[in-house]
Every structure is written in structure tokens, then in C-alpha cells.
Amino acid sequence: MNSDTDKPLHLGDLEGIKRSGVRIVALTAYDACFAALLEEAGVDIVLVGDSLGMTLHGAQGTLGVGMDEMVYHCRSAATGTRRALLLADLPFMSYPDATRALENAARLLAVGARAVKLEGGEECLEIVRHLVLRGIPVCSHLGLQPQSMLQRGGLRMHGARPEEADRIRRAAPLLEEAGAGALVLECVPDALAAELRAVLRIPVIGIGAGPDCDGQVLVLHDMLGLSPNPPSFSRDFLRGTRGGVREAVANYVREVRAGRFPEARPQPTPRG
Ligand code: KIV
């Protein structure tokens, strides 16, 4: 989005992009090579996601990913980015309280992340506030929260049940008030994502949350057709291209910006 100015993008810039009506494009990358390729293709946010537990390590989920691995991949991806916003996940158990969250977020910022993402709603308000007050830009993550899969039933749509939808509805504005600069909504009904997009000042970045979001994020390996069990809401952008990975990513950027990806759908089935 900022490619015209070449100015590095920060989390605080995303509200302005939302207001301008331009869709925000995000993808995961875990190393310098792919991070650079994404940036060249015009991706706004390079997410060093803890999805690397699945995409790189072949695990069933994200619970085995630790801080040292996140720091390693974040440092590598940072080498490949200049303009794009490098967002890094705080992995499982790296933010059990505000003090540990701050220590670990600082480690990610020290190797080049410009913001951190953490999963959780009302139970995380104090942590979000603590980080933001100390200068750490925070993106929240609601809906399907892979780090809570053992507790919350994991890989399914979240927010279809009224009590779940209400929990998300309550948490989102509180996270915004606590200082979160963006909200990732994973695997929630399209209508709920659209509703939150309308009430929040900060951008809603959807994954399996339908087309009515301020931006979209996908896992790189899913959209390149490399994952053994990609979620039904993803699309293989590599299939049928002649220009390989660069063309696939450029197509994704174009389709998201044009509002053509994702299409409205009945109900998504999550990854796995
Ligand atoms: O870890 C990750 O890649 C993520 C995305 C699924 C949003 O959090």
C-alpha cells in the first residue's frame, strides 16, 4: 500500500489505510527470501506467524513453537523487509503475564519486528495495555485461536454459537480501547466480521472471515498449494500460473485489493 512512498509501514498507519478504503494485504513468511518476495509483490504486512510450527516443522499445531524459534525466524524475515510491516507472533506461553509479555515482545522488536500479535480477548486486556503503554505496537487475534485449541476445541469456526459471538463482540472494542492497532479475526462467520469491521476504528484483518474485512491474511504455504491440508477458505494461487511464486503472490495482492478474494461463502471449514 505504501509502495508509492516507499516509507516503512507501521501498525499505527493501518487505521488511515482502513479509512481510505484500501484493503490491507498480509501473508506469512518466515525467512528473508520469501519476506523480500512478498514485499516486492506489494504485500503490506509480512507476518512471522507461529503457523511455522505446521508449515516448517510439520507439527499438528502451534503449541510447540517457542520464543527462540520466533526470534530466529523474525530476524531472518526482517533482513528481507524494508517497507512492509513485519509483524511477529508471540508464541504459546510467551505472555502468561504482562511482565513476561513485555520481555518477549521486546526480543521480537530487537530483531526487527515492528509489532507483535497475540491471541486472546478480555483475559488479555491488561497485557495489551501494558505492552502498548511501553511502546510495543500490538495486533490482537480473536476467533479461532490456535494456541487455545486444546481448550476451545480448535480447528472449527468460532462465533457461530451465540455465546461465542457475544464474547468476540465484547472483546474486540475493549482490545481497541486497550490500544491494539489491528485485529486478526480467524474463522468467524462473515456477518460477525462485517459487524466488527463497521464498529471498530482499527482494521479487521480476516482469515476465513469472509470478504467484508479491512484486509486479508493467509498462510503462505496454503496459498501456494504446499500444505497437505489447507483450510477450505484458502485458495491455491500458484495453480495455473506461468510466473511461479512471484506471480502467485502478485495475483493474491491484486485479488485482495480488488475485493475479489475471498468470495462470500456459506461457512468455512478450518485448517486440518
Ligand atoms: O500464525 C499465523 O500464521 C497466523 C495466521 C493464521 C493469522 O496467526
Give the tens place of pLDDT for each residue, 168-217.
999 999 999 999 999 999 999 999 999 999 999 999 999 999 999 999 99
pLDDT band of residue 151 (cuts 50, 70, 90) is: confident
Give the tens place of pLDDT for each residue, 210-241.
999 999 999 999 999 999 999 999 999 999 99
State the distance from the centre of ligand 1 to the C-alpha of 44, rounded, in angstroms. 15
Q: Is residue 97 in some structural domain? A: yes
Residue 269's pLDDT is: 56
Say if ligand 1 is within 6 A of residue 49 CB. Answer: yes
The CATH number of residue 202's host domain is 3.20.20.60
Q: Is residue 2 in some structural domain? A: no
* Mean pLDDT in residue range 120-132: 98
Residue 82: pLDDT above 90? yes
Domain range holding 30?
11-257
Q: Is residue 108 in some structural domain? A: yes
> Which residue in this structure is represented by grid cell 499438528?
60
Residue 3: pLDDT above 70? no
Q: Is residue 6 in some structural domain? A: no
For the chain, give the mean pLDDT: 95
Say if ligand 1 is within 6 A of residue 28 CB. Answer: yes
Q: Is residue 270 in some structural domain? A: no
pTM of the model: 0.96
Residue 9: pLDDT above 60? yes
State the distance from the centre of ligand 1 to the C-alpha of 99, rounded, in angstroms. 24
- Residue by residue, what is the 3-state secondary structure of 197-223? HHHCCCCEEEECCCCCCCEEEECHHHH
State the distance from the centre of ligand 1 to the C-alpha of 208, rounded, in angstroms. 11
Residues annotated as catalytic (active site), given as ranges: 186
Split into its structural domains, the chain has a count of 1
**What are phi and psi for residue 46, nearest 5 degrees?**
-100, 115
Amino acid identity of 138? Answer: V
